[in-house]
Amino acid sequence: MTRSEDRLTAAFVAVALVALFGGVLTGFFQALEHAGMDVYPSTPLVKSYYHSLTLHGVLNVLVWTTFFICGFVPFMTTRALGRPLALPGVAWLTFWVMLGGFVLAAIPLLGNAATVMFTFYPPLKAHWAFYVGLTLVVVGTWLVTWNLALTWRAWRREHAGERTPLAAFMGLVTFAMWTIASLGIAAEMLVMLIPWSLGLIGGTDPLLARVLFWFTGHPIVYFWLLPAYMSWYTLAPRQAGGKLFSDPLARTSFILFLVLSTPLGFHHQYTDPGIHVGWKLVHAFLTFAVFFPSLLTFFNVVASLESGARARGGKGWIAWFAKLPWGDPSLAAQVLAMLLFTFGGIGGLINASYNLNLVVHNTAWIVGHLHLTVGTAVTLTFMGICYWLVPYLAGKALWSRRLAQAQVWIWFVGMIIFSNTLHRLGLLGMPRRTMIGAAAYVQPEWKALLPLVGVGASLLFLSSLAFFLNLVLTLVVSRAPAPAPAVPAFTEALSGADHAPAILDRWRPWIALAFVLIAIAYGPTLVRLALTTPFNTPGLRVW
């Protein structure tokens, strides 16, 4: 790969890490608030609990993830295809468009003019720059899709009849899925929020906006997850000293995500009026369907790790687990992320069940769920990736392997305390997105648990500080050259790409099927809402 491409990856990852730092800091403030300390009077930049919560959500789940993915996925895809990006100029333009968008959104965000949470539900009304900025970030991701697609086309011309290398296949599916999924948010921004915030239309409609938001808002979780899966499938087994159990099964899992990720956003809207219960049921079934590619991943990745552990002398049904090379912080981060994701996934099934959702919806339980998924499965995996990627990009060895080992375990323990406590608080009825310290209805049984939120979050914050310190010292202090090979090699498979049916390497049938399912699951509701919605709700600024 060219140095320019490495620099591009470095640029994306650098922005991602800055966002993550802001995200973990504000998260720490919120947890302290829950634990009984009102920190906001002493944080001049962060005005209130809700300002902090918005910064935390936007910086972590929208900016950290997206920028990391736009750096990491093209890095992996071009390496797997063995060729540079088709349009290097466009790739840099993409970065500047996205950075410009982020800065534009960050100005009102920091200035407390967009305190609308990462879901920005109207009628809460942010400054127009917030919506325009986020839209530019999304446009940037489409440019990445375009570039990856052209790069693959050029590869295909020279490799007719060959299977697309697995990592490249996964990169392409991730961006194809995301591009389809992002149409909802694009419509919400362009037709509703941007004209409304600019005063071009007088009002808005909460229900239509929420439907369009969750059209994208559910599949965006797979846009975050699939790059982590890409690492679990194509790098982690090799890091563990083993082989991927089945390449065709891995491809099947990704194709299922391409087809099934989008048509199920109503599982975030079970309690919303104005959507027929029959369509909610359809979305519930489809949510259970999209559970399967993660189950396939579970079996495939466990079998692959097991092959590595057994090659290292591991024995028994479970005891082999101890023989994984735990001393490698990059692998340890990913395996611990997988362990916690198992519980996050089970929690997801509970959320998806209509009647159980009525118990947990809008409670702290959901916050527990999202910290196991995006906050650990994704974030801890990306941290693990940083442990080889940043030294490689910097051309220097990681400053301290020991610190990195400690960091991933502190995250693991901190997250168990933090997320378990939030799940329990949710079952006790504690609402999410609420400044609990100011609530008049705090129950004694919540009071007993709330300090544990602070304990867990303090460990998480400590772990993030160790992470950032290690990366900064790698850049500034480390003198040793990056170890060779700096980038983990792609995993070989026990059952390889040649066993994969050719149909899995075709795009049109799967993309067409994805659109058909979306048309069935969303078409009637969207058409009805578009034809009947009056756009007459005035905006609110409640902060």
User: Within the chain, what is the greatest distance between any pair of CA atoms?
Assistant: 69
Which partner from the list ligand HAS, Cu ion, none does 225 bind, CB cut-off 5 to 8 Å by kind?
ligand HAS
Single out the residue of 119, 405, 420, 537 in contact with ligand HAS (rule: CB under 6 A): 119
Single out the residue of 51, 251, 267, 423 in contact with ligand HAS (rule: CB under 6 A): 267
Single out the residue of 34, 218, 238, 323 in contact with Cu ion (rule: CB under 5 A): 218
Residue of closest CB approach to ligand HAS: 345
By CB under 6 A, tell whether 351 contacts ligand HAS.
yes
Here the tokens at position 108 are 């009102």
Spell out the residues 6+ positions from residue 371 whose beta carbon is closer than 8 angstroms to its own. 415, 418, 419, 422
> Is the bond into 485 cis (omega within 30 degrees of 0)?
yes
By CB under 5 A, tell whether 280 contacts Cu ion.
no
User: Between residues 142 and 321, which has the closer beta carbon with respect to ligand HAS?
Assistant: 321
Q: Which residues pair with 493 in a beta bridge?
A: 244
Backbone angles phi, psi at 134, to 5 degrees: -65, -35
User: Between residues 261 and 421, which has the closer beta carbon with respect to ligand HAS?
Assistant: 261
Least distance in angstroms from the C-beta of 338 to ligand HAS = 3
Sole window of 1-9, 29-37, 287-295, 440-448 interacting with ligand HAS (rule: CB under 6 A): 287-295
User: Between residues 361 and 401, which has the closer beta carbon with respect to ligand HAS?
Assistant: 361
Spell out the residues 6+ positions from residue 247 whose beta carbon is closer than 8 angstroms to its own. 166, 493, 495, 496, 497, 499, 500
Reported as type and span, the H/E element at residue 529 is helix 508-532
Could you write out the DSSP letters of every residue in 459-510?
HHHHHHHHHHHHHHHHHHT--SBPPSS-SPPPPPEEE-GGGS-GGGG-SHHH
By CB under 6 A, tell whether 224 contacts ligand HAS.
yes
Least distance in angstroms from the C-beta of 334 to ligand HAS = 9
Nearest of 540, 534, 543 to residue 207 by alpha carbon: 534
Backbone angles phi, psi at 236, to 5 degrees: -60, -40
- Per the document, the length of the chain is 543
By CB under 6 A, tell whether 226 contacts ligand HAS.
no
Which partner from the list ligand HAS, Cu ion, none does 295 bind, CB cut-off 5 to 8 Å by kind?
ligand HAS
By CB under 6 A, tell whether 369 contacts ligand HAS.
yes
Single out the residue of 21, 321, 326, 543 in contact with ligand HAS (rule: CB under 6 A): 321
CB 366 within 8 A of CB 432: yes
Nearest of 124, 126, 133, 129 to residue 112 by alpha carbon: 126
By CB under 6 A, tell whether 309 contacts ligand HAS.
no
User: Between residues 339 and 406, which has the closer beta carbon with respect to ligand HAS?
Assistant: 339
Which partner from the list Cu ion, ligand HAS, none does 525 bind, CB cut-off 5 to 8 Å by kind?
none
Which partner from the list Cu ion, ligand HAS, none does 77 bind, CB cut-off 5 to 8 Å by kind?
none
DSSP 537: B
Question: Rule CB under 6 A: which residues touch ligand HAS?
Answer: 119, 221, 224-225, 267-268, 287, 290-291, 294-295, 297-298, 301-302, 321, 338-339, 341-342, 345, 348-349, 351-352, 357, 361, 366, 369-370, 373-374, 377-378
